[in-house]
Amino acid sequence: MGQLFGTDGIRGIANRYPLDCETALQVGRACASFFGKPETGRFIIGQDTRISGNMLVSALAAGICSMGKDVTIAGVIPTPGVAHLTASDGFDAGVMISASHNPFFDNGIKLFKADGFKLSDEEERTIEQLIADAASISEKSGEIKKTGRIVQMPDASERYGQFIASNSSISGSWLQGTRLVIDGSNGAASKMAPYLFESLGATVIPIFCSPDGVNINAHCGSQHPESLAETIIAEDAHIGLAFDGDADRLIAVDESGSVLSGDQVMAICARHLKSTGQLSRDTVVTTVMSNLGLGIALKKMGIAHLKAKVGDRYVMEEMRRTGAVLGGEDSGHMIFLNHHTTGDGMLAAVKLLEAMHASGKPLSELAKVMTVLPQCLINVDVKTKPAIQTVKPIMDVIAVVEEKLAESGRVLVRYSGTQPKCRVMVEGPSEKETQTFCKKIVEVVNKELG
């Protein structure tokens, strides 16, 4: 067995190892062994809308129950909803079945500890060892006479929505008069996001909120906001919000149809939090993938900018270490640590709308707080993933590009933690140069690893 956990849980093609029923059963048993109390234990499992979700939930639940632990099924709910309910209801651990922004045929398993936080690398390795020792765990389960029970939590999604609404600093129908387009990505937010923002007073125009099991993330959501931008203009809306399949990330679109990056949303929220005295330590944590323009904007605002490894849990680790309360990724994962233990697309949307409400300005004006430097990001399909620094032709071309960019840009080449891809990112002084340099590196990566 190779390494199971990537940057965000276990990910793969559904019905194939490691997202097959047999492995999911063993993951359930391993989780019950790792998290559960010696004699008792309670676990909660949620899922997004992809067709393989029920299959994997059933396998995981069976594995947990075979170890004598009880399982509560939350049904379709955003990933941060599972994190919230895990902590608020005293579960030993929470499990989310989702492959986030990936297509429907993929799926994944994300784990949360009793406090609602994601696992450390060390904890994931321990669970991997337990899964590898499947025979021993199976033997233990065979000795258990009192197996666990499975119960439903029919109001899980509603309870999570109430939690989000309660974390708004403004009470009442404060979004009255706001025309809001919501792209649910045919995923976990499809039902609850329109309901939540309507309850706050907004006039909601929902799109891609009709999941059928296979249309999740299909040309919609945070990865594909083109239709959202068109709808905003057609409906004369004030703002558009696009979530991904499990709604832990947000991409916003302004009233003119322009798409804001996650970095821009963080810059807007950072300025608002600082102006209201809520930005602890005057610090924002992002990953190394964040645009150089964010660092420049934060510096002008007198805000420190710290960078972590790619992955929202590494951002979280740095935030907890430094006392920062705002962090995230350019992809749209945003963490408001004063309110939640994980990245949350809907919470980020509420905080962005609060900044708009406080300023009285349209989103297009607020977005000017940050100038996005030209960036080119190309994903290259790879057959193998040797350490980049050991592939001389790739290192040579990176050195050439870095020398030409000097202080006016940067290069970042890294593997995806969840897919067989190498991500090549170049930032530079102009669109043309950035594209040229990025394609130059991609050509070599393709030749060496494709």
Number of domains observed in the structure of the chain: 3
State the catalytic residue, choosing from 98, 100, 261, 290: 100
Task: Note whether 244 and 380 are same-domain residues.
Answer: no
pLDDT in tens, 374-420: 999 999 999 999 999 999 999 999 999 999 998 888 999 999 877 89
Residues 106 and 194 occupy one common structural domain: no
DSSP symbol at 302: T
For the beta carbon of residue 39, count every other beta carbon within 10 angstroms: 8
Measured between alpha carbons, how far is 281 from 322 in angstroms, rounded to an integer?
Answer: 8
Here the CATH number for the domain that contains residue 387 is 3.30.310.50
Residue 440 has pLDDT above 70, yes or no: yes
> Sorting pLDDT into bands at 50, 70 and 90, what band is 2?
low
pLDDT tens, residue by residue, 259-306: 999 999 999 999 999 999 999 999 999 999 899 899 999 999 999 999
Q: What is the mean pLDDT of the chain?
A: 95
Model confidence at 107, pLDDT cuts 50, 70, 90, reads very high
- Is the model more confident about 147 or about 140? 147
Whether residues 142 and 273 share a domain: the answer is: no
What mean pLDDT do residues 130-151 have?
A: 86
Indicate whether 309 and 384 sit together in one domain. no
Instruction: Answer yes or no: 157 catalytic.
Output: no
Residues 288 and 309 grouped into a single domain: yes
Between the CA of residue 254 and those of 181, 197, 262, 354, 382, what are the distances in Å? 10, 17, 13, 15, 36
Work out the average pLDDT over 115-138. 91
Residue 295: give the domain boundaries: 167-369
Which of 334, 351, 369 is a domain's end point?
Answer: 369
In the chain, the percentage of residues whose pLDDT exceeds 70 is 99
CATH of the domain at 39: 3.40.120.10
Q: Write out the DSSP string of 189-218.
A: TTTHHHHHHHHTT-EEEEES----SS-TTT
Tens-digit pLDDT profile for residues 211-245: 999 999 999 999 999 999 999 999 999 999 999 99
Burial class (CB in 10 A: 0-12, 13-18, 19+), 38: exposed
Among 127, 154, 181, where does a domain finish? Answer: 154
In a domain, 149, yes or no: yes
Mean pLDDT of 112-125: 95
Shared domain for 148 and 178, answered yes or no, is no
| Within a domain: 191 | yes
Is the confidence at residue 135, as pLDDT, over 80? no
Residue 159 lies in a domain: no
